[in-house]
Amino acid sequence: MLGCVLAFAGGCRATYYGQAIQGQWHLLAYRQPIARVLASPQTDAELKEKLLLVGRLCDFAQHQLKLPAQGQYVSFVDVGRKHVLWNVYAAPEFSIEAKTWWYPVVGRLKYRGYFAETDALRCAAKLRQKGWDTYVGGVDAYSTLGWFKEPVLSTFIREPEPELAGIIFHELAHEKLFAGGDTDFNEAFATVVEQEGVRRWLATNGATEALRRFEQELLANDEFQKLLEQARQKLREIYEAPLPANPGQDSIEARRKAKAATFDWLRAECARLDKTLGGGSRFGRWASNQLNNAKLASEDAYHRFVPALRALMAQNRNDMEAFYSECKRLAKMPKARRHAALEKLKSPQPLS
């Protein structure tokens, strides 16, 4: 995901920008060269192994995926908390379209990021008072788009190898290409690069079983995303249905009940999907808490155009350079034209 801290480029005009500057300064001030961390007798064996793995992942990203990894992830920061950021998402009570915020440099994004969870929760509470649906989600990694050399963070370094590889490739992809004010395109681009990168990393290292599990996870997530799109379509029909010229409270309450029923359906379907997959309950857990328009919007921001960009990758025979060239061409288009082109590519595509 993109770092909200880029907003500080506009100067400390308000409390939001102030916390962004302070949070980013903390990461810069407390980072340590990885070589020093590796040499320290206080560093445990698992952390040393993962830090060495990051070096190999960056080398792979630079030479095999053609990502700008030179000089990145050569320092380490113990953040001292569960997440490095908390993102606030918001959507109107009767719309699945996410609220956007404008930032200097990066334009409009579909989230508001905070380095302290209390600040994010406070922002969400204020929005709810104004009638918005809200969702607050923790973030373990972000990109500054090359403004700073990215450090390895304690919030993600202990992830299993495929997840760690995915995080590194995803964030470097943001530095490779960025279209101002287009969260959906940027996140889909980084996600597709991440997925292709992890596949290649695991295949290159002969991790056959890990690759099989990774492909299964992608297929499972595709099924989950299909459910979310079905829920969005049901909600669109509810929200776009005409109301009386002077709608009374009964009409509004009827719409709220239909909305609630749709989310009940989604909860049940997510639980069913978990059972179909033969174990675990991650989709059911996702649907059990804070399920509303804003939470749906948070997923849409990352996955809306993934099928389209997978199709573009396939059209270019999984050639990374050719894929990047086509994505750069899309990024130069006006946003509306770019989205129209992506919609044409969104027919279902196989994962390989």
pLDDT reported for residue 10:
32
Give the model's confidence band at 17: pLDDT under 50 very low, under 70 low, under 90 confident, else very high: confident
pLDDT in tens, 299-352: 998 999 999 999 999 999 999 999 999 999 999 999 999 999 999 997 654 544
Give the model's confidence band at 14: pLDDT under 50 very low, under 70 low, under 90 confident, else very high: low
User: Rounded mean pLDDT of 23-38?
Assistant: 92
Q: Which residue matches tokens 């649906």?
A: 133
β strands within the chain, DSSP E: 32-33, 75-77, 85-91, 101-103, 107-109, 112-114, 133-139, 152-153
Predicted TM-score (pTM) of the model is 0.90
All structural domains of the chain with their residue ranges: 4-183, 209-344
Please count the CA atoms within 13 angstroms of the CA of 142 that sit on its side-chain side. Answer: 23
Token code pair at residue 266: 């989604």
The 3-state secondary structure of 29-48, one letter per residue: HHCEEHHHHHHCCCCCHHHH
Q: Which residue matches tokens 């080398």?
A: 59
Token code pair at residue 142: 């972000």
Token code pair at residue 246: 């002077």
What's the length of the chain?
A: 352
* Cβ proximity of 2 and 84 under 8 Å: no
Please count the CA atoms within 13 angstroms of the CA of 306 that sit on its side-chain side. Answer: 23
